[in-house]
Amino acid sequence: MNGSAPLPLRPPAPGPVGVTVLGTGHALPATVLTSAALDARLGLAPGTVQRHGGVRQRHVAAQGETAAALAACAAERALQAAGLAWDDIDALVAASGTPDQAMPCNAALVHQALGLSGRGVPAFDLGASCLGFLVALDTLSWAIAAGRYRRVMVVAADIASCGLDWQTLEAAALFGDGAAAAVLGLDPTRPEAGLRATELRTLSEGAGLCRIEAGGSRFHPARGVTDFDSRTRFRMDGPAVFRLASQHLPGIVHDLLRRAGLTPREIDWVVPHQASDLALAHLRRRLGFRREQVVDILADHGNQIAASLPTALDIAVRDGRIRRGQNLLLLGTGAGLSLGGAVLRY
């Protein structure tokens, strides 16, 4: 009500003990676009694109290839890694930043691609751009801890390539396509495993720094918008995003570790959203983590929006770097501007 005093902020709760990642998977489009090919396409000197974005190559979806189909492939691999069947899954949640269409939710399209119609498993979206996977991890872990669900499949699939202005080096140098999935649930055989702390924050003064304006009701041809096509392209003020995120991320990490009861030296792996080469370098330098301690897949995958972090997680699990019992720090930023993280005993 007008004139009322603001409500006091509640201290963040600790993580829901016992809820962990039971299995992961990822999928990539078959087509690979190298930065050398982009140099030639844009008429730039050899090496320009890779120097600008730190990306050597990225996977891009072919015509007709959908985020839902990629998500379905990643989900099957995560299910297999968890040693489960679809009858063991209580909900399917899509955390994509670039859905296939405005309606229905992308989770329903993934549900259809997986042939789950006869099972009636609920499917819905949780969206927060590049931060989608962490938002899903935070939100759904509490539902699992409360007994609402036993196991949840989270999928993040993004096709960024079709929304880029390929003449704008900032975007063309950085983004790629892909999908990743994770099964969340309790593991009664490892009671020590699970989330230790989670944190999400939105700084809406940065809401206009990363945007695709078209796709909703605000900018629509039926409402007299004449420059609709240009509004379907991704726009970003990278330096401003970096400045705002870098002011707040150290405090988030400090709070996460404090609530988890861990020191930075007790973190085995940092798994970040692959925002940019500059962001990853700043994360290592400002937060004091060693280069070899940070899972960095940017050079061969680019920034895959919400699929970025869980793809990095799955790659590091499958190549043996990340092992059960280790402490992981998951960190991300997304349009909004939103930031977040989680400490997970894997």
Residues recognised as catalytic: 130, 273, 303
Q: Are 99 and 156 in contact (CB under 8 A)?
A: no
Degrees, nearest 5: CA angle 303-132-115 = 100
Phi and psi dihedrals of 295, rounded to 5?
-75, 110
**Contact predicate 112/218, CB 8 Å:** no
| 8 Å CB contact between 297 and 311 | yes
Q: 């920034």: which residue's tokens?
A: 303
Distance CA 321, CA 343 (A): 17
The DSSP symbol for 303 reads B
Residue whose structure tokens are 């927060």: 128
- Please state whether the peptide bond connecting residue 46 to the residue before it is cis, i.e. omega within 30 degrees of 0: no
